[in-house]
Each structure stands twice: as C-alpha cells, then as structure tokens.
Chain A
C-alpha cells in the first residue's frame, strides 16, 4: 500500500438525488435501528448502487449478507472468512466482488470471488493462494477485476482459467493496450514515504478520498492535482453527488474504542457537521444511500446496523 491505486474511468455515473453546491447537509432526526440479528454482531453496511439492498458482514469481517430494503429479508451470500472486508458492488447491483480466505495450517490462502446475488452463484476470479494483498476493484465494464498487490498491478478478466490469472501481471503504468484502455490505471503517491488507507473513488471517477496512515484524510483529483486536507477522520465514503464525504471520528484507549460518531464534510474541507452524537453508541463505517436521503452505519457496541435520515 505504499502507492495509492486509482482507477480512472471515462464515463460519469448519473447519481440519484444530489446535493446542490453550497447546501448544508444535516441529520433529520435520531439514528434508528435498521438491521439486527439475535446473537450476531453486524457491521460494515454498504448500500447497493440501485438503493434496493444493503450488504453487510459479521465481526472480524466474517461472511457476507444482503438485506433487502423492500421486504426486510436477509440473505447470506458467503460464509467465508474475510468476505466482508473491502467488498464492492457491481454498478448494476447484481454482483459483489470480494476477497475470501481460508487457512491451511497457519498459512492464509486468499481467493477473489464474484457473487451473483440474483443467481446465487459465485465465480472464482483468483483461486486460493498465499501472498495476496490489496483490495480488488471492478473495471468500468465490470468484465474485469484489478488488484494492486505487493507492488504489482494485476488485471483479471472474468473468463479463462482462474489458476492462470496471476500470470497476467503488468508493471504499474504499463498496462498493455488491448487488455484495457490505455491510461486506465495510474498510480499516485502524494506523500512519499507514507502509507495510504481506505481510498475510495468519487461517483464521477474524477477524485479520490483517502487516509494517510497515522495522519489526516484527503481528497485529490485523479490527475494528482487539487490535494485537499479534510482533517482527522476514518473510513470515508462519498455522498452520491460527490459534494460531501461521510466518515467517522473515533477515540480509543489503545485497546478499545471509547467514542465514535459519524460526520460529514464538504470536499473542499469546509462545512464539517456532526451527524450523530450518541455517547452510548459507537457508530462506525458509514455508507450513503444512492438517493442521498439516508446514511447507514453500524454500532460497534451492540452489533446492530442503524440508519439516519439526512436533509439539506
């Protein structure tokens, strides 16, 4: 993770309801519990692009589940370890790309899979192996997966033998024409020597929000310009219109969290607003609904998922 992987796509995705420039977002009420399951610790909710589902995971990012907004039903997509960390929805909300692991003795084997929600099928993009690092991401077309792992960029198409796909590695900035359009992949390193975390591309694919390990949160244009400090915060996500970043600010004593609440801030670093103020909760891992009206997050105290209406 010395380098920040950016995927620049040409098209601009039409967002649902977006926030007009200069409007101030605010909480419209108190957080309400949305999803809970007896004896289970739920976390890391993530809204599907079409707004009909919320995917989430369990403690230790074990397993992957989908909550249907309309009927409230929950379906297990994967029971594998680590499936809930860094997963991402396909643009058509049909599939989820995830990294799963198992252990062989004390060695960790990792595979990359695509789970088809509707068909209840899974496709192995990269078969189980050691030495897999980084978070896989979709290409624009959804026909391939990109993984920046251990200093190398790997492009994995969804056809062919999974066992062979590690051989399709290319050096950074030398993606072969024909596999994917030129300049689709670019590396940024705005703070040489630092490590980066939780980078997320904006809905219009023009900007990236990211954290510096042990430092602040930043927004940068994908061409490397416009670096903007957003201050302290963790696990940022974009508002559907790209005007705001929603994130969490935590306090800890080195062993456990002592406080955590959800905040939002404009991408120019102004207009920070605290969306939750609940000392008895540890609200974390926010995700903004595609229509911009709600934010989901989990409570690290009670293992439940909450939703907050937002207004502007």
Chain B
C-alpha cells in the first residue's frame, strides 16, 4: 500500500492532477462483515415523513456496493435489503451468528430531538470494578472510535461520542448490576459489534437531507473509509465535491440549483423530482445538497452555479484526494421584492388597538425607498415606522389607530430592495404596481371582562366536587395582571373561614383564565362559597363592578392510593416527539412538538414542570393524528397497573375543541384507547378515565376494546375537529393512576339484597353522629342527601356508583338540634327506569 501511495504521488507531480479510477483495495480477503440497517419498512418516521428505516437501508446498500466493488472483502452480509421485510431483532442476531461474520455493524439514526443533530457510536460494554469493559470479542470500541471521527466529519456536525452502550444508558457507576451489553445487537451477537446513530431523523433539516440519494452515499463513504482504517489500510484517493446551496439573503436552501464542475452537473432536489413523495406543499421541503464524485483531485476547478430565479455565479473549488471537498455556495435572487404577509390580514375587521401592525417582505428592503413609497389613509398621528433588524418587516403600534376606521396602506412601485430590485407591488412576478392593503378597526372597548364559564359552574350549585379542586374562571378577554390581587378569589368554608390558596392567571390567545389552587384539602360533603371580587380590569380600564358569588358542595370520595406515572418535573424524556411516530399524520411539522414547560404547571401539587404538546393541523389532510409515544424502555411505561384504577391527568386546555385521548398497552400487547375528550376548556382541568367503568376503544396491535391483564401507558394522542383552530397547545401534568374510596361509606356483610332499601338511622336521636344503612340489588348510582325542615339541603352523604350489596354511611352533624330528613335516590345502571326513592326522618339532640 505504501508503494502504491508513493507511485500515486510521483504521477501527481508529473501530471499535476489525475482522475481516480475505482481502486482495488486489498487486505480484506477472508474477512466478512454483517451490515444491519436498523428497523424495518418505514419505521421510525422522520419529521418530514422520511423514515429512519428507509434511510439506513440505503446507507447499508451503498456501503455493501463500495466494499464489494472496491475491495477484496470475502463477504458482505445484510439483515435486510428492501423496504418490505419486517426483520425482528432475534432474526438479525440469529442470522449474523449463523453466518459467523467477523464484524457486526448496525446502522441507525437518532431521535427524538427536533433541534439536535449529532452522531453517536455505541459498542457493547459496561462498568466493572471502576473500569469500562468492552464485551468480547473486542473490536467494537476500536471501530466506534474511528467512526466517531469519520462520520462526524462527513456530516459536518458534532458528536455525542463513542460509548460502551450500558454506560450511555445507565451512567458510569463503579459497577453495573448487569455486566453485559445493553443493546440487543451488542448483547446477542457473538462477534465484534458497534451501532451508529448518524444525525437525528426528527431534526427537520437532517430529515430533508436524508431524503437525498447521494447524502446516503456520503454516509456510506465515511463508513467505507472507517472499515479500511479498522484494517490499518489507507483508503484510495477520491475526488468528491459536496455542499449546500442557499439564498444569500434568506439563508433558505435552494431547490433546483445546478452545480457544474469539470463537466459534471448536479441539480439539487426539487418538489417535482423528490419532495412530492413526502409533502403536498411545494415550498416546504428543501435540502440544497449537491454531491459530485469521480472528480480529478489535486487541483482547483471552476464551479458554475445557476438556479431558476437567481443570478448565475461562478467560483472555484480545490478537490482534495483524502476526503470530501466541501464547499457551500450562495446565490442572489433575481426576483423583485414583494409583500408576503400582513398582520392584520387584508380586509380584517374589528381590529383591536393591541400589539403591532406588521408588513413582511420576501427579502431585505431599502428602508428609505420603502418609507418614501408607503402611505396610510386616513393619516395616523405621530406615526413612526419601525423595522426589524433584517429589513424584511416594517410596522407600527396599533395603539396609534382610531376606533371604527377603515385604513388603507399603499406601497408605491418606487420601493426597492437592498440590491436595487424594483418592488413588485401587485405580486405578479414582474417589477411594478402598487401594494394596497386595507383593514378596519373595531369600536372602543367600554365593557369590563365577562366571566364566561367556571369550574365549579358559577351558574348553579354543583355537587360532588373533588376535595382537591382547581377552581377555574374563564373570561371573554384579557384580565390584566395588575387588577388581580390575593383578594380576587375567595373560597369560604361552611364555618366562614377562608381556605388558603394560590391565585394564578394565564393568557390563552386573547382571553384570560384565572385559577385558584387551594393549599389544603376541602371537607367532604359540605357547601363552600366562592367569591370573585369586583375590580378585574381589561387593558382599557374597564373593571368589573360587581362580585360573583356562588356555592358548590364537595363530594364524599377521596383518593386512597396514588401511583405517579410521570410528574414531568425532571423533563419529558419518557415521551417521543410526535414526528418520531409513524402514526402521526395530517400535521404541520413546524408547529408540532412536545416540550418541557416550567411556566404552566399544576400549582395544586407543587409541580415544577409539565409536558406541553404544540400542534399544527394540516386542514387539507384527510386524516389527523398526533401520537406522543412513550417507548417501552421509558420510566413512564415501567409503571404497571390494572383496570382497578382510575387514570388521571391534569390537562391545561386551549379551548380549541380539538380532541385528546389516552392509549394504554395491556397484557396481550393490545393498544387500547380511552374515548376522545373534547378540549372545550381553557386552563387546568383534571381529566379522568375510569378504567373499570368507562368505555374502551381498540386502537392497534390486535386491540379489542378490552383492558386485559397488566397495563402501562403507551401514548397520548390528539386529533383535529373540523372547524376548530388548527394551531394550539395542550399541557399535561401529574399523569397518574389512583384508587378512590367513598369516605364514610362501607360495604357490610349480609345476604345479597333483592330489592332497594333505606333503613332507619341509628342511634336516633343522635349527637353528633348517626349511621344510615341501605341496600342495592344491582349496580346503581346512589345519592343520599340530608335536608333541614325548611327543605334546604344540608349535605350530600353519598353520590356515587355502587355494586350490588349492603352499605352504611355515617353522618357527623355540625348543625343545630332539630329534625332532619334523609333521602335516597338510586338508579340502576343497566335499567335506568328502575329508580328507587325513599325519605326518612332523624333527630339531632345537642
């Protein structure tokens, strides 16, 4: 090999440069490698609908072709060679072990971050006696060390490094409990092995690169060089030019740009050539990537660059022989500037004097020329035009506008961009024409904020309210923070004492929702009074003049067992980005993500973090589903429970009317779903799925609408409701399962009842406690209330579903001596016509 390089050097000196031929690399005879493109079919869908499985297969096929055609390697085996095979992990290791390959290389890409884009190499290993130990046979670490350098340089990104797999997933203790590899492909393969993660397919930029055929050759080329280095073989010289072509002003990557070097041309991907496979939007996808191989190396070559709508350009590139010759290039648009967006929109009515008026151009503008060309009618006093720093947006404060006025803004054709291109006012693709834009402001706001809805409902006296409620008050407009004080919401107990708590307001869209988080549990079965004070004000000093006062009655059930699934305080690592699931469809990827939110949290539980799901629906799509998956290896899915529990989550709704549901995996592996919950509330609300009694809907993997065996969370899912806002967000906090009991109610022994019955209380008269027994012959909803002789309800003792049986409940009276009535109403769940009502007297003697 050394002689070969020397010979090449001599020829280079003589000829200046030369064109490489496919070199026959020797030294791999008798050596075999097993290439394992991870996953199958279109699994692990990328953020723009190009999957990890599709990409890594093509990297593997390209690497096989390079090894077979350019070296004397004995055999290249592969675990799969097409997009149709569904290959299990056990098949992969069984096959590699049977063919007895020398090395096993598993090819993957990373998830679920939408912003990270690094490389990662994982060989089989663990910590033992304070040392990191590589599995035997060794070799995976060596290959990983080489690939970390080669792959990271090829992708021009950063790296997370090369790790023993168990240290990456379980840290660096002195001693791991399990002293064997963490990943299956390292654990069950009996040869040297390594797994690579080449960038994140959930990163939008990387996912668009992955679609490009030559990008996969770039990754394969780096792996090819790594294999040669692993054998201490210098790789043959190459002549590869690669890089990105972008718009010099916007930085946007250019579709359809053609690069020509030494007679070879390469045109970057376009919607027509490629991206139509993954999006209906002709403007959404772009990678600007070019890749030209087999160029003469050792010289500087001319580069000719052109693209529709851009001025052609030329530059030079030096073609090196030992690596890719990277050169990123820019082009200047030849198009006229035009307006791409206004806020408010053209023709908008009722525009409020809040925020900014904005006009956005497609490219940086010459400020002076625009300010000379722009006019507004009628004239606005003290108008001062403001620009964004990139000179693409002009605007002014809407507070300068008058009420109930139609405004027209005109930008004349003398406006120019910073390169002197004439303004295309009418957006016909040619310079010239005026841009004319009109909108109408609304009337002066003289009304104070109006309480629209609340929890508990302020229009009635609700019963059965939780002992740990979040009180929620939704207004029809923004209530300014300055008007909300510690006295704005009061929760008053029966003894007239105030329940301590925290008041917190959020602005959702243009409407405020105010919460009261009690800091102590409420008493069961008693009446509370809520007072919302006057003085809540909007931005125009319109304050509420009257207090709102209403009552509610707490229920008689309480939580007696609580198992946390995820409180989201430490992050949202148990949950994938929506784009990481192949089931996520009909969405706008830029508007869709799962994030960790430390601002909107459940103060009732002292939470410090919540899971926020941002969504953007593609209204034109036929199917809409966002799946935020929790993989089987996550902490959340490690929490097991059964259908004796109630699944609960605090959900901060956006009032959009879009829908969410919970999905569980049951014992047989079925994916079973709750009903869809319509998010018609704003702010925090406890959402529950009673696993034993609420309906179950089969979703996937043989689901049958029945929860069987051990359960674990699988995903949170969302769908679009026609006519609802298509962009919004929903937060989750304190995801958990609980068991409830009715406090004071006990099932008692006795024969199986054949009819409803309400027994006389005992003792009677009593002071201050007495017991009421009753019987239920079939599953029924039972309500027992106590009234004074004026017919006023004093309390509700029972308000819940009972199975067949005999029960008793004790009342601890706190009122005055006298006669009280107690009333039972029981309704059969299977036959609602079967209704039982009975009333009896009791006497309290103080």
Chain A residue numbers with a CB within 8 Å of B89 are 250, 252, 254, 256-257
Flag B74-89 by CB within 8 Å of A: 1 or 0 each: 1100011000011111
Flag B587-628 by CB within 8 Å of A: 1 or 0 each: 000000000000000000000000000000000000000000
Flag A119-139 by CB within 8 Å of B: 1 or 0 each: 000000000001111110000
Residue of A nearest to B143 (CB): A106
In whole angstroms, how far apart are the Cα atoms of A204 and B153 in the complex?
58
Is A214 in contact with B87, judged by CB distance below 8 angstroms?
yes
Is B668 in contact with A41, judged by CB distance below 8 angstroms?
no
The answer, yes or no, to whether B178 is at the interface (CB within 8 Å) is yes
Is B190 in contact with A101, judged by CB distance below 8 angstroms?
yes
In whole angstroms, how far apart are the Cα atoms of A19 and B632 in the complex?
37
Given contacts A106-B192, A108-B102, A253-B633, contact A235 B85 (CB under 8 A): no
The answer, yes or no, to whether B525 is at the interface (CB within 8 Å) is no
Q: Which of B44, B178, B184 contacts A252 (CB 8 A)?
A: B184
Is B98 in contact with A86, judged by CB distance below 8 angstroms?
yes
Least distance between A81 CB and chain B CB atoms (Å) = 6
Q: Could you say which of B35-43, B300-308, B509-517, B651-659 contacts chain A?
A: B35-43
Is B86 in contact with A107, judged by CB distance below 8 angstroms?
no
Chain A residue numbers with a CB within 8 Å of B95 are 1, 195, 197, 213
The answer, yes or no, to whether B139 is at the interface (CB within 8 Å) is yes
Is A60 in contact with B86, judged by CB distance below 8 angstroms?
no
Chain B residue numbers with a CB within 8 Å of A101 are 100, 137, 190-191
The answer, yes or no, to whether A82 is at the interface (CB within 8 Å) is yes
In whole angstroms, how far apart are the Cα atoms of A303 and B220 in the complex?
36
Is B39 in contact with A254, judged by CB distance below 8 angstroms?
yes
Chain B residue numbers with a CB within 8 Å of A195 are 95
Is B90 in contact with A107, judged by CB distance below 8 angstroms?
no
In whole angstroms, how far apart are the Cα atoms of A110 and B95 in the complex?
16
Residue of A nearest to B102 (CB): A108
The answer, yes or no, to whether B179 is at the interface (CB within 8 Å) is yes
Is B187 in contact with A59, judged by CB distance below 8 angstroms?
yes
The answer, yes or no, to whether B91 is at the interface (CB within 8 Å) is yes
Least distance between B82 CB and chain A CB atoms (Å) = 9
Is A103 in contact with B139, judged by CB distance below 8 angstroms?
yes
Least distance between A106 CB and chain B CB atoms (Å) = 6
Given contacts A253-B631, A256-B183, contact A235 B94 (CB under 8 A): yes
Flag A99-114 by CB within 8 Å of B: 1 or 0 each: 1010100111010000
Flag A246-280 by CB within 8 Å of B: 1 or 0 each: 00101111111111000000000000000001011
Given contacts A62-B190, A211-B91, contact A255 B139 (CB under 8 A): no
In whole angstroms, how far apart are the Cα atoms of A164 and B8 in the complex?
43
Chain B residue numbers with a CB within 8 Å of A284 are 90
Interface size class of A (residues with CB under 8 A): 35 or more
Is A135 in contact with B98, judged by CB distance below 8 angstroms?
yes
Chain B residue numbers with a CB within 8 Å of A86 are 97-98
The answer, yes or no, to whether B462 is at the interface (CB within 8 Å) is no
Chain A residue numbers with a CB within 8 Å of B80 are 213-214
The answer, yes or no, to whether B99 is at the interface (CB within 8 Å) is yes
Residue of A nearest to B44 (CB): A254
In whole angstroms, how far apart are the Cα atoms of A236 and B85 in the complex?
20
Flag A273-294 by CB within 8 Å of B: 1 or 0 each: 0000101100010000000000
Q: Which of A215, A248, A256, A280 contacts B184 (CB 8 A)?
A: A256
Residue of B nearest to A134 (CB): B98
In whole angstroms, how far apart are the Cα atoms of A48 and B462 in the complex?
71
Residue of A nearest to B191 (CB): A108
Least distance between B46 CB and chain A CB atoms (Å) = 14
Residue of A nearest to B30 (CB): A130
Is B87 in contact with A213, judged by CB distance below 8 angstroms?
yes
The answer, yes or no, to whether A67 is at the interface (CB within 8 Å) is no
Residue of B nearest to A60 (CB): B190
Is B86 in contact with A214, judged by CB distance below 8 angstroms?
yes
The answer, yes or no, to whether B726 is at the interface (CB within 8 Å) is no
In whole angstroms, how far apart are the Cα atoms of A251 and B32 in the complex?
29
Q: Identify which of residues 637-695 in chain B touch chain A, using a CB-to-CB cut-off of 8 Å.
A: 640, 667-669
In whole angstroms, how far apart are the Cα atoms of A215 and B91 in the complex?
10
In whole angstroms, how far apart are the Cα atoms of A39 and B667 in the complex?
29
The answer, yes or no, to whether B490 is at the interface (CB within 8 Å) is no
Is A277 in contact with B90, judged by CB distance below 8 angstroms?
no
Chain A residue numbers with a CB within 8 Å of B102 are 106-108, 130
Least distance between B131 CB and chain A CB atoms (Å) = 16
Which of A103, A106, A280, A284 is most buried by chain B, counting CB atoms within 10 A of its CB? Answer: A106
Given contacts A258-B632, A279-B710, contact A60 B180 (CB under 8 A): yes
Q: Identify which of residues 1-47 in chain A touch chain B, using a CB-to-CB cut-off of 8 Å.
A: 1, 39, 41
Least distance between A62 CB and chain B CB atoms (Å) = 7
The answer, yes or no, to whether A244 is at the interface (CB within 8 Å) is no
Chain B residue numbers with a CB within 8 Å of A82 are 97, 100, 190
The answer, yes or no, to whether A198 is at the interface (CB within 8 Å) is yes
Q: Identify which of residues 39-95 in chain B touch chain A, using a CB-to-CB cut-off of 8 Å.
A: 39-40, 43-44, 74-75, 79-80, 85-91, 94-95
Given contacts A81-B137, A130-B30, A284-B90, contact A303 B178 (CB under 8 A): yes
Least distance between B698 CB and chain A CB atoms (Å) = 17
Chain A residue numbers with a CB within 8 Å of B142 are 106
Chain A residue numbers with a CB within 8 Å of B230 are 106
Chain B residue numbers with a CB within 8 Å of A39 are 179
Least distance between B688 CB and chain A CB atoms (Å) = 24
Chain B residue numbers with a CB within 8 Å of A41 are 178-180
In whole angstroms, how far apart are the Cα atoms of A85 and B86 in the complex?
23
Chain A residue numbers with a CB within 8 Å of B633 are 253, 255-256, 258
Residue of A nearest to B633 (CB): A256
Least distance between B668 CB and chain A CB atoms (Å) = 7
Residue of B nearest to A251 (CB): B669
Chain A residue numbers with a CB within 8 Å of B91 are 197, 211, 213-214, 234
Which of A213, A215, A252, A258 is most buried by chain B, counting CB atoms within 10 A of its CB? Answer: A213
The answer, yes or no, to whether B181 is at the interface (CB within 8 Å) is yes
Chain B residue numbers with a CB within 8 Å of A62 are 136, 190
In whole angstroms, how far apart are the Cα atoms of A82 and B139 in the complex?
16
Is B90 in contact with A250, judged by CB distance below 8 angstroms?
yes
The answer, yes or no, to whether A89 is at the interface (CB within 8 Å) is no
In whole angstroms, how far apart are the Cα atoms of A248 and B94 in the complex?
13
Given contacts A257-B184, A258-B632, contact A1 B98 (CB under 8 A): yes
Is A255 in contact with B184, judged by CB distance below 8 angstroms?
yes
The answer, yes or no, to whether B171 is at the interface (CB within 8 Å) is no
Least distance between B782 CB and chain A CB atoms (Å) = 36
Is A234 in contact with B98, judged by CB distance below 8 angstroms?
no
Residue of A nearest to B31 (CB): A107
The answer, yes or no, to whether A61 is at the interface (CB within 8 Å) is yes
Is A131 in contact with B137, judged by CB distance below 8 angstroms?
no
Chain A residue numbers with a CB within 8 Å of B44 are 254
Chain A residue numbers with a CB within 8 Å of B231 are 106
Chain A residue numbers with a CB within 8 Å of B32 are 108, 131, 133
The answer, yes or no, to whether B103 is at the interface (CB within 8 Å) is yes
The answer, yes or no, to whether B135 is at the interface (CB within 8 Å) is yes
The answer, yes or no, to whether B108 is at the interface (CB within 8 Å) is yes
Is B94 in contact with A255, judged by CB distance below 8 angstroms?
no
Least distance between B509 CB and chain A CB atoms (Å) = 38
Q: Identify which of residues 58-82 in chain A touch chain B, using a CB-to-CB cut-off of 8 Å.
A: 59-62, 81-82
In whole angstroms, how far apart are the Cα atoms of A294 and B408 in the complex?
87
Chain A residue numbers with a CB within 8 Å of B139 are 103, 106
Is A103 in contact with B184, judged by CB distance below 8 angstroms?
no
In whole angstroms, how far apart are the Cα atoms of A151 and B91 in the complex?
21
Closest 8 pairs (CB-CB, A-B): A214-B85, A258-B632, A59-B180, A130-B30, A214-B87, A108-B102, A254-B39, A252-B89
Q: What are 12 A-B pairs at a CB distance below 8 A?
A: A41-B179, A60-B136, A61-B190, A103-B139, A106-B102, A107-B31, A107-B102, A108-B137, A214-B91, A253-B633, A255-B183, A259-B669
- With A60-B180, A85-B98, A106-B230 known, 5 other A-B pairs at CB within 8 A are A213-B79, A213-B95, A250-B89, A254-B43, A280-B640
Residues of chain B at the chain A interface (Cβ within 8 Å): 30-32, 38-40, 43-44, 74-75, 79-80, 85-91, 94-95, 97-103, 108, 124, 135-139, 142, 178-185, 187-192, 230-231, 631-633, 640, 667-669, 709-710, 712
